[in-house]
A and B are shown apart, each in its own frame.
Chain A
Amino acid sequence: MPEEHVEPKDRSAVQSLLRLWPYVKPVRTRLFGAALIAIVASCLGLVIPLVLKWIVDGPVAHQDPGGVWLGALFLLLLGITEAVLFGVRRWMVARPLAGVEASMRADLYRHLQRLPVAFHDRWSSGQLLSRGTTDLMLLRMFLVFPLTFLLVNTTTILVGFVILLIQEWTLGLVLLVPVVPLVIICSVFETKYSVVARRAQDQVGDLTTVVEESVLGIRIIKGFGRHRSQALAFRALSERLRTTELGKARLLAGIWALITTIPELAIGAALVLGTIQVADGGLSAGTLVAFLSTALALRWPVESIGFLLAMSQESATATERFFEVMDVAEEEDTSVSGGAARDEQPEAGGMVFEGVGFRYPDAEEDSVPVLKRIDLRIRPGETMALVGATGSGKTTLTALVPRLHDATSGRITLDGEDITAMPRERLRELVSVAFEEPTLFSASVGENVLMGAGGGGEEELRRALSVAQAEFVHDLPHGIDTQVGEQGLSLSGGQRQRLALARAVVGRPRFLVLDDPLSALDVHTETLVEAALRRVLEETTAIVVAHRPSTVMLADRVALLTEGRISAVGTHQELLRSNAEYAWLMSGAGVTGGGEPAAASPPGPTADDLPGAHAPAEESSTR
């Protein structure tokens, strides 16, 4: 069930996080301005102990009430400034950083929409979704807190140490001792933590996938009463995540404990040494108070380094995961050689497949390709039915025309123009598709249909709906404005199919690809749709995947797809007479020879009759 995850590249956390720069750049002034303000505010915090020292050593020692007032007033002023600066910092970054998250998400969405279908076949939407939500939220959090505070706290610590060293350099040096071990510990921690953090995030993605599938497949789960086993599978995954998270916590607990203890021990040592110095008279009590007060003020910045590093590490992983997807190249349009691609024979219009082969990009090198060599010419205005056994590659072939997948060999031309030479945008304008699975989007009926046409009007919509016999939409609660799709009214399979068909024909496309467009319609509706569709098909060049004679009747000619090749082309009647495999597919009627019921065996036995077809060697697989 887990996705195959790309091994994280050997990139350090800093290198990963630096990749965020393009997104941070537009808000850099505010972000760094805010960081600067935070640094100033933090340093003000460090000045407060100095004022205390001044009060203790000065007015208090000299019993000067006026001085005390002055000191307190100064303290108040510092306090107010600090508070206001903190507020300004947050105010400065609030909207811009929310904007960074949003623009990253928008980019991700934009990019994903334009990645090839092959990419989406490989990646579950749960993994993509977890990148678009949890990972990006983490990154925003990172920019708001850890990034700024790593900067602020480091500066605070540095300035703090300078103050400490100036006040009493011997004691200051004592506090500096733990720095070396702490740095080493932190870097060891960072390495270990990054591995676990990545694992946890990936497991969240897997969990999302299970949730999504169990919702989308709810009818099957219910239908077979499998919700308990589904819940068990979910539990196993979430327990795995829990184990990983506990591992993370163990690391975090360790680092945190060390980061608290080691500096505290140094402060203890400084206290003892300081007390001796005060006793010796080498140090004023006020200085010791101020020194320790400063040292203690540095406690939080030092302690926080632990979890700031952890959060940064997680953010680095989130960045990795984000760019893992963003780095996948979008499909380029290779329209540069535009003119040259035109066919030499001007009369070769229509839709032409020349030696088209296709193998899925993730298939093994030596595996049998889905489509071996398709040579087929559909004349302008002609409708060609595509018939073949289940799984023979009909749908795959139709996906090549709008370039949802690219043919791995050979080429497809539309009116003589190579489809790889035209921009996808234009190609998809020329070619309209009705998919086997009629997907409707969360939008109104009208919008769903009209998305097939670049700005079609009311009239077009009405025509398309009538071709698809989808007049039922007028009886919906809000007519064509009724919301459908996931967030709207749920329609029956037949209704959805008719809307998908209307969508395909609404723009009067030059080329039409219909994948079994009438499968879910009842006989009566089917007859009506056929009649209307026939008129549409007269005007376009079309390829129609067909499982049944009634659909085939829409076409002028039929192409039979066998074993990745076109094994026969002809009219329905011709093929019915001359081609045994075709007859078997169309009527299920017994094929000559053999006592075995014909339908039980694969189309193998008939393949010998086909011109140029290789006899498949799968005869042994009877039931």
Chain B
Amino acid sequence: MTSTTTGRPTEPGDSEESGSPEAVAVVPAERAGDPFDRDDLPTPRGATRALLVSLLRPLRGRVVVAALFLLIQQAAVQAGPLLVAYAIDSGVPAFRDEDYGPLIAVALGYALCSAGAGAMQYAFIKASARVNQDVLLDLRGRIFRHAQALSVDFHERYTSGRLISRSTTDVESLRELLSEGLQELIGVVLSFVSISLMLLWLDFGTGAVAVLSFVPLYLLVRLYQRRAAVIFASRSTAIAAVIVKFAETMNGIRPVQAFRREPVNDEVFRKLNHEHRRTNGDAMLENARYVVGSRLVANTAVAGIVLWGAYRVASGSLALGVLAAMVLYLRRLYDPIDRLSMFLNSYQSAAASLEKIAGLLAQTPTVPEALEPRELPASVDEHPGREVVFDGVSFSYRTGGEVLPRFDLTVPAGQTVAVVGSTGAGKSTLAKLLARFYDPTEGRVLLDGTDLRDLATPELRRGVVMVTQEAFLFSGTVAENIAIGSPDATRAEIEQAAKAIGAHDFIAGLPDGYDTDVRKRGGRISAGQRQLVAFARALLANPAVLILDEATSSLDIPGERAVQRAMDTVLHGRTAVVIAHRLSTVEIADRVLVMEHGRIVEDGAPAGLIGGTGRFAGLHRAWRESLA
């Protein structure tokens, strides 16, 4: 039969079952270049099954209990025809002899079996629902946590739509398998076994023929499985593509409407939708083929067995009651075939989804959490800032292409460094290395002498916080959004942070003040206001090192001033790395780095550089003119 619950993973070993990201590193990350485009991440051999096993293993006690309930239920149900045979063969003659015992036994037995079957049915559904829901809870949590643990560079390549598809439709197909399929499977297997035994016991010859008919059925199942696997895999890819397009459109509805993209989108969507429709149809047709085949085998077997049985009753070698019972059992034997196809359907669909999920879970974070985290040394003499050292650091994308050639840089504690340079000069990469969104290809980034890679996440985020240009707001209230900086903050602290950055007034002016729901990703809050909220977040986090990556681009001049003032007061003494196109920010910097093609080409105090003849002097002149 199809192997689900019983099969232990035979290949790459037990470590896979732990489900931890490090343990699943079977596929070298380097090979994962192209598959992103095809939504076809490599799934290590056996990982799918290992995933299923690791999901079910903690619940095996409950699975056994549920199976027991079902076993008893099946036993109670299967007793029916036996009682019929007994009633006809023993009850009738006994009744004629005015012996009511057997008939009363039949009545009681039947009542007991019916009630027992009902009760067990109830118990089983409840027990299996708990198993199912626990598995889903576990799996949803795993996908979510793993996606969160994966590095920023992964998210830059794996579209959000696909991740959503993994944790919704793919989980959904497993839900279908568990809630309907598993019951079918256990039921089917149990009734196959029990009915076969019953038939063999009633009459060995007939039973043997029935058992023999399983061979072609098994072959049919195998064939269906193989063919359906291909179809379901492509269906899963097709629906993911639909989701990606759907989500992209809804998230960009403003430009979609303003640029009259609706008809073009309709057309693109029609194609994707059509592909999904085609694979869907294929899947149902394949299923139809299986059903016809299996029905044919079953019905032929019934006809054959009846022919033989009737022949033997006619010739007197078989009791009539036994034939009656056997015919009833035979009907039941093949009854679950349809249900088996439903199970196979959900199994194939779930297998395809699980494979994709396993592929996602097999991705190793390129920026793993520290295994043996170290503490940052206590701050020296009350200075909130910390020293930052880039020690022989270089950075290249995994696909090749050097972004930052090897360099060294030391930023003393408390210094504010402005990084300027044209687009693509590597400023953001520098910032991402410091924020540990990326790890350097070579060398180390040190915070007060400690490698960032050795810091546990909470410790790292107390140390370094980055505010970026895209000021994303989560659904929830404004206060909750600010509190992301420090979840334990009191309302007073939140308001204080907002006031310090000059965001208090606009927040207080919102319908419910700090408790205003920002709705869908801050649709009602302007870009500038969102950046202020993002800043309030960073202030609240109160880090030792603050990175601002184009974080003031949408602010007006008073807003920018407020930020600068906050850096002068609230953040005084912090180490700061500021990337800005607006050179106004540079005015508060102690030091300026000019970057070009990944290299730091100028480094010095702003006044000195402005006075010189270098690039920065030129930039600064242009900027002064733009203010005029």
Contacts and interface: CB of A to CB of B under 8 A. Distances in A.
Given A390-B532, A493-B553, A268 B111 contact: yes
A522 B616 CA distance: 12
Interface stretch (A69-77, A161-169, A187-195): A69-77
5 contacts: A98-B280, A222-B152, A246-B133, A523-B619, A588-B558
A36 B112 CA distance: 38
Interface residues of B, number: 189
Contact of B311 (A65, A207, A214, A235): A65
A117 B257 contact: yes
Most buried by A among B163, B252, B504: B252
Contacts of A500: 255
Given A209-B475, A219-B468, A439 B255 contact: yes
B163 A215 contact: yes
B255 A226 contact: no
Most buried by B among A48, A114, A428, A599: A599
B306 A439 contact: no
Interface string A429-448: 10111011101011000000
Interface string A157-182: 00000000000000000000000000
Interface in B470-528: 470, 472, 474-476, 484-485, 487, 499-500, 502, 504-506, 508-509, 511, 519-521, 523-528
Top 4 A-B pairs, shortest CB-CB distance: A79-B299, A261-B118, A249-B129, A268-B110
A573 B111 CA distance: 98
B264 interface: yes
Contact of B423 (A217, A268, A360, A522): A522
Contact of A216 (B160, B273, B627): B160
A207 B332 CA distance: 41
A600 interface: yes
Given A72-B304, A285-B88, A428-B259, A225 B527 contact: no
A526 interface: yes
Interface in A267-308: 267-269, 271-272, 274-276, 278-279, 285, 288-289, 292-293, 296-297, 300
Contact of B581 (A242, A395, A523): A523
A93 B332 CA distance: 27
A429 B532 CA distance: 34
B130 interface: yes
Contacts of A238: 136-137, 140-141
A264 B113 contact: yes
Contacts of B558: 389-390, 584-585, 588, 599
B466 interface: yes
B545 to A, nearest CB: 12
Interface stretch (A25-33, A102-110, A375-383, A458-466): A102-110
Nearest to A74: B303
Most buried by A among B159, B295, B500, B537: B295
B559 A231 contact: no
Contacts of A63: 314-315
Interface stretch (A343-351, A534-542, A543-551, A607-615): A543-551
B65 interface: no
Given A214-B144, A391-B526, A451-B264, A129 B247 contact: yes
Interface in A511-557: 516, 519-527, 547-550, 553
Contacts of B144: 211, 214, 231, 234
Contacts of A250: 126, 129
Interface stretch (A13-21, A252-260, A413-421): A252-260
Contacts of B424: 472, 492, 495
A106 B266 contact: yes
Given A75-B302, A238-B137, 8 more contacts: A59-B310, A72-B304, A132-B246, A217-B472, A267-B110, A519-B553, A600-B502, A623-B502
Interface residues of A, number: 186
A332 interface: no
A87 B244 CA distance: 35
B254 interface: yes
A49 to B, nearest CB: 8
Interface string B421-449: 11110001000000101000000000000
Contacts of A550: 626-627
Interface in A40-96: 48, 52, 55-56, 59-60, 63-65, 68-69, 71-73, 75-76, 78-80, 82-84, 86-87, 90-91, 93-95
B433 to A, nearest CB: 13
Given A113-B262, A123-B520, A215 B487 contact: no
Contacts of B423: 472, 492, 494-495, 521-522, 525
A125 interface: yes
A402 interface: yes
Interface string B300-334: 10111011001101110000100110011001100
Contacts of B457: 225, 227-228
A297 B328 CA distance: 9
A113 B141 contact: no
B86 to A, nearest CB: 10
A559 interface: no
Contacts of B502: 599-600, 623
A113 B265 contact: yes
Contacts of B556: 389-390, 547-548, 585
A253 B129 contact: yes
Contact of B289 (A87, A234, A264, A389): A87
Interface stretch (B89-97, B370-378, B408-416, B598-606): B89-97
Contact of B248 (A117, A278, A486): A486
B164 interface: yes
Contacts of B553: 493, 519-520
B311 A253 contact: no
Contact of B461 (A1, A86, A224, A452): A224
Interface string A182-215: 0000000000000000000000100111011111
Contacts of A355: none
A372 interface: no
A592 interface: no
B554 interface: yes
B500 to A, nearest CB: 7
B353 to A, nearest CB: 12
B14 interface: no
A216 B148 CA distance: 11
B570 to A, nearest CB: 11
Nearest to A387: B556
B208 interface: no
A337 interface: no
B303 A75 contact: yes
Contact of B619 (A221, A245, A524): A524
A547 B257 contact: no
B555 interface: yes
B213 interface: no
A417 B522 CA distance: 33
A369 interface: no
Interface in B231-254: 239, 242-254
B626 A526 contact: yes
A425 B263 CA distance: 11
B559 to A, nearest CB: 5
Contacts of A602: 505
B281 A95 contact: yes
A276 B93 CA distance: 10
B32 interface: no
A254 B124 CA distance: 11
B194 interface: no
Given A238-B137, A257-B118, A516-B554, A221 B521 contact: no
Contact of A87 (B81, B92, B292): B292
Contacts of B422: 522, 524-525
B257 A215 contact: no
A463 B132 CA distance: 59
A119 to B, nearest CB: 9
